[in-house]
Chain A
Amino acid sequence: EAGVTQSPTHLIKTRGQQATLRCSPISGHTSVYWYQQALGLGLQFLLWYDEGEERNRGNFPPRFSGRQFPNYSSELNVNALELEDSALYLCASSLYGSTEAFFGQGTRLTVV
């Protein structure tokens, strides 16, 4: 069974550009979580989608947005990139309200 897959693995953008990160959850999982992990720091909750709807968002500015598609895959968009947006972006999926979330390998975004 395929795990959570994220693409691209690495992404380099310049300040002011937009970045789009993608996540495919485990088959059957309807919930997708996005986290930001800056170098040496913990996971900061970004967004949570379930059944195509945004259920909750963390304390991030509106330029961080996303969506979930009918097949439960998800996109994270970051507009007007800033240098401090450089981080590992992790996606996790789970069954709604389930006990465990499974993580993808992440997308390392570098803003120069």
Chain B
Amino acid sequence: GQNIDQPTEMTATEGAIVQINCTYQTSGFNGLFWYQQHAGEAPTFLSYNVLDGLEEKGRFSSFLSRSKGYSYLLLKELQMKDSASYLCAVRDSSGYNKLIFGAGTRLAVHP
């Protein structure tokens, strides 16, 4: 089966650090993606991990552990504009590389 789990909602303070976790169970694995989606807008690509370890891109970092079926997105120096939903997605190699999304984590950043 296919299952991707993320917390539904998180809150954090401007300037702080927040970690959004994602666990997945898929028949095959060919990469994990994080997307950001502001309300009413299309998702935009943030990061991609296919090998274990940490990928850093500015204020955002993403970590992957394939053996644990686990990833996290780390957001540093939070800004108000980071208030959005963060979507974890897995490319399932058993399904012709179909891209499967979790339900998303709604992050609210407060002053």
Given that A55-B96, A99-B50 are contacting pairs, would A45 and B45 also be in contact in the complex, using a CB cutoff of 8 Å? Answer: no
- CB of A100 within 8 A of CB of B101, answer no
Given that A35-B101, A99-B31, A100-B33 are contacting pairs, would A90 and B96 also be in contact in the complex, using a CB cutoff of 8 Å? Answer: no
Q: How many A-B residue pairs have CB under 8 A?
A: 52
Given that A99-B31, A99-B48, A99-B50 are contacting pairs, would A45 and B100 also be in contact in the complex, using a CB cutoff of 8 Å? Answer: yes
Chain B interface bracket (under 10, 10 to 19, 20 to 34, 35 or more)? 20 to 34
Across the interface, which residues of A come within 8 angstroms of B87, CB to CB?
Answer: 42-43
Kindly identify, within residues 83 to 111 of chain B, every residue whose CB is under 8 Å from any CB belonging to chain A: 87, 89, 91, 95-104
Q: List 15 A-B contacts (CB under 8 A).
A: A35-B101, A42-B101, A42-B104, A43-B87, A45-B98, A45-B101, A50-B96, A90-B42, A92-B99, A99-B33, A99-B91, A100-B33, A100-B45, A101-B33, A103-B43
Instruction: Taking A43-B104, A103-B42, A105-B41 as given, write out 8 further A-B residue pairs in contact, using a Cβ cutoff of 8 Å, ordered by the A residue number.
Output: A43-B43, A43-B87, A50-B96, A97-B30, A100-B48, A101-B45, A101-B99, A105-B42
